[in-house]
Structure 1
Amino acid sequence: MDAKEISLKEKSVKPVVDMLNDYLANYHIHYQKLRGCHWNIKGQNFFTLHLKFEELYTNAQLTIDEIAERVLTLGKPPHSRFADYIKESTIQEVNTIGMKDLDMVEAILSDMAKLIELERELLNATVEANDDGTNDMVNNFMQFKEKNTWMLRSFCGKK
């Protein structure tokens, strides 16, 4: 399959696909960080954050699958090697063992800010490519992160 089969121009969609693969790489690092936070959370916020991190990594897992499937829909293969994810991601891995609970939340907030930044760039690229399908998908992902950013910031006592 290629983009023209869904009424998109290959040349216009190429930047979108490249950005989606970068986005996919960042999401994988974010996902693993969420798993690490879920596994290694300790302290008085254990029950609250253990559940929240599980909610977020479950959502991230579904999001990763949708991103990869969108890349395939646009006629290209998604990246699928951790070596590529680590190389391409601007989100950095962290060791969550021994991390304090609020430091974990801060790390997740930082990831979400970066992912939202990537989503806004993707939205601009999808408009230029007339790729409403990707635009709609990314917009939904961004709205989820915006709401959870507000919730996590409120949890930390921030405005």
Structure 2
Amino acid sequence: MLRRYSCLISTIMASITLIPLAAEEAISPTQITEQESWNGSVFRIEDTKTRVSIASVKLSVSDLKPEDGNLVGEYTIQVPLMQSKNDKGKIVLPLEFSMDELGAHGGTLRGQAISYKEGTTPNLIICEIIPNKNQRVLLDITTDDRTLSFKSRYSIVETSNDS
């Protein structure tokens, strides 16, 4: 039964793997509108951590900025007890909501966490944005070994055009 469940999960994960846009593909009008709504603003996620068994796993994410119809930034994962599991890479989340929609109603963005390590495949990342007075964000990063679930706070920060 466990084997069947594992195969089912693998099949589902394989079917929802996102393929980045090719350079020659056009960005949809919706993505252009969503990106324009950000008008220099960035999505900021506070540093956070979770536990895997006895190990603490720390996540840092740079400001996510609109770029080619996506929110793009970098992540760093640190595992103090197993430094070989440390990772650094790029986060790409397709923009499906305007800044105002995310701020008012929240939403779920599904994209990729792309490690800078050679020989790795992109991991699925799900970013659930929960707007309220605490502005919570739930991040699930699915790796080959497991799904890491992080809880943090976020803010949408307006940046000046000169910075």
TM above 0.5, yes or no, is: no
Q: Which has the higher contact order (CA 8 A, sep 6+)?
A: 1
TM-score, L = length of structure 2: 0.31
TM-score (norm 1): 0.32
Q: Which has the higher helix share?
A: 1
Higher strand share: 2
